[in-house]
């Protein structure tokens, strides 16, 4: 599993507390579980693409398919399942992006394109005056 930023982990913990306070126990449990993911510092270098993101989403969906096949004691058509999972993953990524107000398709951790120069602007404030 990929890592998440410490900041995201902290946000998830706070959201879990809020969900618990208003009685959304199931949601609180899931948020707490997600907050326990391995973290990285917020300013660490980290790169992955939208294709990596889609693959990350697809893996847990395959776990769901496995649970369904086991529950019903049935076999599955893996080719059709993969097509459906790709569609669901794509729709899920778009839905969450829209809900988050993302208007572009470039992720914060996308690899640089050939010839792209990335720079970080650091501003120091000296309030010794």
Q: Is residue 122 part of a domain?
A: no
End-to-end CA distance of the chain: 47
Same domain? 56 vs 95: yes
Does 11 share its domain with 64? Answer: no
Does 36 lie in the same domain as 51? no
Give the Cα separation of 129 and 117 in Å (integer): 35
The verdict on residue 120 lying in a domain is no
Residue 105 has pLDDT above 90, yes or no: no
- From the list 125, 1, 119, 120, the residue with the least C-alpha distance to 60 is 1
Integer Cα distance of 82 and 78 in angstroms: 6
> Greater confidence, 124 or 45?
45
1 in any annotated domain: yes
If you write DSSP's letter for every residue of 29-85 in order, what string do you get? HHHHHHHTS-EE-TTS-----HHHHHHHHHHHHHHHHHHHHHHHT----HHHHHHHH
Mind listing the pLDDT tens digit for each residue in 53-87? 888 888 889 999 999 999 999 999 999 999 999 99
- Range of the structural domain that residue 14 is part of: 1-43
Q: Are residues 34 and 67 in the same domain?
A: no
Q: Is 101 left (phi over 0), alpha (psi -120 to 50) or beta?
A: left
Length of the chain: 129
One domain for residues 70 and 51: yes
Q: What's the pTM value of the predicted model, to 2 decimals?
A: 0.64
Instruction: Encode pLDDT of 10-51 as tens digits.
Output: 999 999 999 999 999 999 999 999 999 999 988 888 777 778
Total domains, the chain = 2
Convert the pLDDT of each residue in 81-98 to its tens digit: 999 999 999 999 889 888
């Amino acid at each position: 599993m990929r890592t998440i930023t410490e900041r995201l982990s902290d946000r998830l913990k706070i959201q879990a507390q809020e969900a618990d306070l208003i009685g959304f126990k199931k949601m609180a449990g899931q948020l707490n579980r997600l907050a326990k993911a391995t973290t990285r510092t917020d300013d660490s270098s980290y790169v992955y693409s939208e294709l990596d993101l889609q693959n990350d989403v697809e893996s847990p969906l395959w776990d769901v398919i496995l649970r369904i096949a086991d529950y019903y004691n049935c076999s599955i058509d893996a080719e059709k399942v993969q097509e459906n999972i790709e569609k669901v993953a794509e729709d899920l990524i778009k839905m969450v992006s829209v809900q988050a107000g993302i208007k572009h398709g470039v992720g914060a951790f996308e690899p640089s394109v050939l010839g792209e120069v990335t720079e970080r602007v650091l501003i120091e404030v000296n309030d010794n005056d």
